[in-house]
Amino acid sequence: MAFWVKELRLKTLRDITQTRVESTLQKLRSGGLSGKSLNHAQSVINAFIRWSVERKKLAAMPWDKLRKFDESVRPENKRRALTLEEVGRLLSISPEVHSIVYETAITTGLRAGELASIRCGDLLNHRPALLLRGEHAKDRLEAEIPLTSALHERLQELVDGKAEEAQLFDSFPFHHSARTIEHDLKIAGLRKHASDGKVDFHSLRTTSVTLGLASGADPRTIQQLARHKSLTMTDAYARVIPERVE
């Protein structure tokens, strides 16, 4: 409910009205939030309202039924993978504090929230790897994330002199990750939208899986590195990378 408390600026239960909820959902839809995410947010507030009515904190449901959103992926929302050339351009032209985050995302498949949670003490010294704490992982399982030797050395320089509990990527604006990568794509001369989809921060995870499979790696190895529960999910992330015509 923290999401709804913030979005509706709730002070009392009477502030939850059908008009305000539907207006918020439509605003989020216009902002590009997927139908699946919108329906999840809707189910959360529905469950909370039913709980409030059952415990007589509210006299009745403030609505009969909220409209469900189409969960099919719209073409403009389908994520595409970057080519190796595009990855090189993005990493070479982006500011260093952004580039190292993008490189970590692409080589590890870590999500934005997971990257934001990494502390300096999570960088292992005895081998090239990061520790992803279970409370911050999407699957709630602790994992050791392998790194390339070159990236491990760069990250060791980044943590030098910092406290173990300090945020590793403290200079990257994760709360504005979508806006940040969009700006960096622009200065790198890369299109956010192409015929095969769009690029946002989560596309770096799509790129990680796609390039890993394209390199000839065993699909089960990629599944393990991506921390997917099934090969079906790994296959869903894979993209065919066409040559870009600029």
pLDDT at 73: 67
Interval 119-138 mean pLDDT:
95
Q: Residue 236 — pLDDT band, cuts 50, 70, 90?
A: confident
Cross-strand bridge partners of residue 193: 198
Q: Determine the pLDDT at residue 74.
A: 66
**Percentage of residues of the chain with pLDDT beyond 70:** 95
Residue of 57, 55, 174, 177 lying closest to 117 (CA atoms):
174
Using the predicted structure, report yes or no on whether residue 203 has a pLDDT greater than 60.
yes
* Confidence grade of residue 245 (pLDDT, cut at 50, 70, 90): very low
**39-93 tens-digit pLDDT:** 999 999 999 999 999 999 999 999 988 888 887 766 666 899 999 999 999 999 9
Q: How many residues does the chain have?
A: 246
pTM of the model: 0.74
State the Cα–Cα distance between residues 29 and 60, nearest whole angstrom: 27
